[in-house]
Structures are given as structure tokens and as C-alpha cells.
Amino acid sequence: MNYQSIDTYPMKKYKKFNLKAISFLMIILFGYTGVAQVEIKTESKEFQFGDGLRFNVNDGEYKFSISGFIQGIYEYEKTDGLKPQNYLNTRNTYLTISGSMFKEKVSFLFQNNFSNGKPLLDAWVAYSPIANLKISFGQKQTFTNNREMTFYEDKLQFVERGIFSSKFSDTGRELGVFIESQFATNNFLIKPKFAVTSGDGINSFGANSTDVDRGGLKYGGRLDIIPLGKFKEGNDGYIADLLHEDKVKILLGAAFSYNVGASNEVGEGHGDFVFYDSDLKEKYPDYRKWYGDILLKYKGFSFLGEYVNTSALSLEGSFVNTAATSPLFLSEISNYLVLGNGYNIQTGYVTKSGYSFDVRYEKLIRELDNVTSLLTNQDAYTLGLTKYIKGHNLKIQTSVSSTNDERFNSVLNAYEDIKTIIAQFSVQVVF
């Protein structure tokens, strides 16, 4: 794609259209639900621990719920050559509002994390024109990343995501259109998914009217295959086997994304760097990701394996200064984008009394031999212990991680491993 065909003004209009469209759909949705509640004669309200406050009318024809979760965390961190650090805070403070209209085939979700500097995480409206087809519009957790990043933050096997997820992704949210479908033949399920997003992560429309999108759109998809029949209800929505599958269940997946004109190190932001062409116009590299993963569960045992590869394209004719006198060298692109590959292996066992013993190993490998590369060669080991009191709705977790990060020492003129030990303890309550 020609970068110059995507100028600032059309993208600005595109973002404004997104905002207006979301607002319009939400107004219609809430307005229609309000009218329906006035007309109906029977209505039920109930609070269920973990599902929040739920309103059901006309035997579930209309549903509305308010829920959320709180995760308090204590963390101890010690890095070679540095003083130990202690951290105590609420890592996550979520408020979630969701609902659905059965006849109209419409659903929505609005989710904030008030422990985050940018609290808005999810805000989308979905329409299901036919069975097994869902079209969502808005800001949503994308399925084009690795398996762990497709799960919400309250469903994690460990206290937090590891270096594999955090180095190649940020929040995992995107603004755009998401299409999800499902096909089944006997016990064999296929779930193809496709997305077209801004490629700028959360709040990609910017902080104000001058903070507009950079580059082009991001195209991505995922193909999930369940060859041995469905998991128990909801048991494929997280990693640990809380429901103890009676038979071996496997979820195979592959995902990709192609970000046309990325200006953030993992393609989930914008304006972090700018390149120029020979005509002194803004020019951005394309950013590509490939993922493969497998999730297996059987009688309390779970196994997750993930692989990723990232690369940059459209680098020819790029300059790092406005005068177009300093060309971008191939090895320099790793100063701006996270380039390389890695894998994550984690396994665990949940007892029938709710105790879970978990182990994780991760390894990251930079693509280019560049001493200032954003992605460094790393490996990490994590041991975790969890007590599920009421599934993910009430759990106590602790973990210890050891990470070796290969960094270049300019004094020694050589690479050396920097070791970091992190111990964590958390309590999570979903209401």
C-alpha cells in the first residue's frame, strides 16, 4: 500500500465516524432496552456471586448486568545491581456493564479498569444476523494475539501475564470490526475469525482532535479447531482445568495480523516514532505477527504451548529525520519495533479441593544482532500456587519468577545476563 494515500485528514474523519457510530448504536440500544422495560409486566432481579447484579425480563428475552472484579497485589522485585523494590496496590479494579436483546440479536459490553491510566478497555456492540455468526463493532479484546491474551485479566493461570504476552502485546484491545463464526461436524468444531482495526490499540482516536491515527489499518484473523468435541461449558475460556474434563480436550489455534503503517513498538499505539520518505512526508513500516498455540485439558491437568514470530516490512526509502539525510539501516528497525520470536510453555494441575500447582517457561529471541534492540534475548521460569475458593470469582494466588535478560555492557563490550527475581501475592474477588 502507498503510505501517501493515507493522509491525516481522512483518518481523522474515520475516527470521528467510529465515535459517532458507537455513540449512535449505544443510544439506540439503551433507549430500546429502556422502552422494553417499561412495557413488560414481569421482571426478575438477582445477584449471583461472580455474575454481578443481573436483570432478566420476559424470561431472558432482555438481559442486563453490572459486575466487576478487584485484584489486590503485593510484589517484591530484585534485579542484579539494583535495590529491591516493594509494590502494594490494586492491580485491577474493573467495572463491567453488559446486556443482550434476544429478538433483536444484539448484545453489548462496556468495561473499565480504574487502576489503569487509560481506563476504557472494552466498548462494543455486536449483532448476530444468523446462528453461529457474530459481528462486533467498537473497542474489543482482539483474537489476533496469542491464546493467553484472548482471555480476560480475571481468568489468568498466574498472578499476571508472563514476558511472552507482555513483550509482544500491550492490552490486547483494538478498535474496529470483528467477525466471529463457528462450524461443527459431529464433535469437530472450526471457529474462523477475522478483524479489521485501526492498528493503534486502545483509545486510538487520540486524546484530542489533533492527536489522530497514524498509518493505515490492521488486518488480522484467527482459526481455532476443537477436534475432540466441545469443552465443558466455559472451560475453554481460561487455561486451568477447573471443571476436570472427563475426556481429553484440545484447542488448536493459529493467528496473524498485518499492521499497515505501525508507529508503536507492538502495533498497539500511535505516534511513538515517525519515519520520512524522500519527499519529506511521513512514512511508517508495516508490522506483521504470526502466532500458533495449543491448549489441552484432562481431569484437572492443563497444558498451554504458544509460539510467535514478528517481522517488519516496507522499510525501503525510510529516513529517520525530517531532512531525509539519515537513512534507516536494516538493523535500526529493532530500535522501534519488537522483532523476533519466542515461545511459552505452561502447565498445571488443579485438585478437586481447588488447589492448583503451576509451572511456566518462556523464551524470547531477538531477530537482529543489535545491542539497542527493544527485544532482548530472555528466558523466564515461574512457579505458581493458587487456591480457587469459588473458581476465578474468588481466588488467592502466589508466584515466584526468575528472569534472565541478556543486555549489552558497553564497559565490558560484551553481553551479560541480568537476573530479576519477582515474588507476587494476590487476592481476587469477582462480584
Each residue of 315-339: pLDDT tens digit? 999 999 988 899 999 889 999 999 9
Tally Cβ neighbours within 10 Å of residue 141: 20
pLDDT bracket for residue 218 (50, 70, 90): very high
The helix (run of H) or strand (run of E) holding residue 421 is strand 414-430
Rounded to whole angstroms, how far apart are CA atoms 320 and 142? 31
pLDDT for the residue numbered 383: 98
The helix (run of H) or strand (run of E) holding residue 17 is helix 8-39
pLDDT for the residue numbered 1: 39
Paired strand residues for 251: 295
pLDDT for the residue numbered 208: 65
Segment 83-103 mean pLDDT? 95
One-letter amino acid of 345? I
One-letter amino acid of 59? D
Secondary structure letter of residue 11 according to DSSP: H
pLDDT for the residue numbered 387: 98
pLDDT for the residue numbered 33: 42
Q: Which three cell numbers stand for residue 274?
A: 515517525
pLDDT for the residue numbered 57: 86
Name which residue leads in pLDDT, 211 or 187. 187
**CB hemisphere CA count around 255 (13 angstroms):** 25
Residues 6+ apart with CB under 8 A from 244: 299, 300, 350, 352
Whether 8 has a pLDDT exceeding 70, the answer reads no
The helix (run of H) or strand (run of E) holding residue 370 is none
pLDDT for the residue numbered 118: 86
**Could you tell me the pTM of the whole model?**
0.86
Residues 6+ apart with CB under 8 A from 59: none
Segment 294-323 mean pLDDT? 96
Contact 102, 62 (CB under 8 A): yes
> pLDDT tens across 374-385, in order?
999 999 999 999
